[in-house]
């Protein structure tokens, strides 16, 4: 079936540019956002229609994408969208949420003969703006094949990783890795400064070796300057880590480092860093 009509629900820092890429690719895009002014702003930059309700956003669409806040939003918004989506259409959820919620929405969609893919993303605001996101997907192969080429409008890589919920579980792994890497980088920078080294020079050297990481390449220099305005906020990281820690309790895995770094992020929040980006872990070391 040819995909032509798509809608995007949730025009935050990620959804706004993602929906824009769909419009630029030539799809007939309908957008919805709880704050209507944001949707109107989107329509002033891209070609598309602004829906005034979730019902309108879902009606007669081949694919409905959503990128909302948390589990409660996914359940509330997803359920309302499914009520108005046509049989044979597909709901794609780009929210970072729990695997349990993904499975709940999948079961409801299945009952209504609607496809569902849980598809959290990695790459941050810059990745969304540049169309370079990584998309981790869970669901049925046939549904993934129908949406994959559309997702590629804003992704450098998308992959089906298993049954429904697998995308969310993979995103948990992603956030676990990031938390540990950023903490290690923060401690290294703190150590270097305490030792009196020129950390800019040191980073230029060690980033060429085994210590190299995306975080080092993209955040070390701004961390040294105390700049923490690069998208993914501490509040959102704590939400994601809470999901991962909760899942770990269910599956019996041990996440000692993740639990520790989560508490370090709580310290950053107490310093007023709720909206600082995740590289702000260095601030708590500098304030000790």
For residue 106, give the CATH number of its domain. 3.40.50.720
Strand order in the sheet with 63-66: 49-50, 28-32, 5-9, 63-66, 90-93, 115-118
Q: Are residues 79 and 101 in the same domain?
A: yes
Range of the domain at 195: 169-286
Q: Are residues 124 and 182 in the same domain?
A: no
The verdict on whether 171 is a catalytic residue reads: yes
Q: Choose the catalytic residue: 171, 208, 225, 270.
A: 171
Which spans in the chain are helix H?
A: 15-24, 36-45, 54-58, 71-84, 99-111, 124-130, 141-151, 166-194, 199-206, 214-224, 234-251, 256-270, 282-286
Q: Are residues 193 and 269 in the same domain?
A: yes
Q: What is the pTM of this model?
A: 0.95
Q: Are residues 201 and 91 in the same domain?
A: no
Q: How many domains does the chain have?
A: 2
Q: Are residues 155 and 173 in the same domain?
A: no
Q: Which of 140, 163, 186 is the last residue of a domain?
A: 163
Q: Are residues 10 and 112 in the same domain?
A: yes
Q: Are residues 15 and 52 in the same domain?
A: yes
Mean pLDDT per 10-residue section of the chain, whose length is 288 residues: 92 97 98 97 98 98 97 97 98 98 98 98 94 98 98 98 98 98 98 98 98 96 95 93 98 98 98 97 92
pLDDT at 261: 98
User: Are 255 and 241 contacting, i.e. CB atoms less than 8 angstroms apart?
Assistant: no
pLDDT at 1: 63
């Amino acid at each position: 079936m040819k995909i032509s009509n798509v809608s995007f629900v949730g025009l935050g820092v990620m959804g706004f540019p993602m929906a824009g890429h769909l419009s630029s690719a030539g799809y007939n895009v309908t957008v919805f956002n709880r704050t209507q002014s944001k949707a109107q702003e989107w329509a002033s930059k891209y070609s598309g229609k602004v829906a005034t309700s979730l019902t309108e956003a879902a009606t007669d669409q081949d694919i409905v994408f959503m990128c909302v806040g948390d589990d409660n939003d996914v359940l509330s918004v997803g359920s309302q969208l499914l009520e108005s989506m046509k049989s044979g259409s597909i709901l794609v959820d780009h929210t970072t949420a729990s695997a349990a919620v993904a499975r709940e929405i999948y079961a409801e969609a299945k009952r209504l003969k609607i496809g569902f893919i849980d598809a959290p993303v990695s790459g941050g605001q810059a990745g969304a703006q540049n169309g370079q996101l990584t998309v981790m997907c869970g669901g049925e192969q046939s549904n993934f094949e129908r949406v994959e080429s559309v997702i590629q409008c804003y992704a450098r890589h998308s992959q089906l990783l298993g049954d429904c919920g697998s995308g969310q579980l993979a995103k948990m792994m992603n956030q676990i890795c990031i938390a540990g890497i950023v903490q290690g980088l923060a401690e290294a920078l703190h150590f270097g400064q305490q030792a009196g080294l020129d950390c800019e020079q040191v980073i230029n050297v060690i980033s060429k070796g085994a210590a190299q990481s995306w975080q080092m390449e993209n955040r070390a220099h701004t961390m040294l300057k105390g700049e923490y305005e690069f998208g993914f906020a501490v509040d959102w990281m704590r939400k994601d880590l809470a999901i991962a820690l909760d899942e770990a309790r269910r599956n019996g895995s041990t996440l000692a480092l993740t639990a520790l770094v989560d508490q370090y992020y709580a310290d950053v929040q107490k310093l007023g860093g709720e909206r600082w980006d995740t590289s702000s872990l260095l601030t708590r070391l500098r304030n000790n």
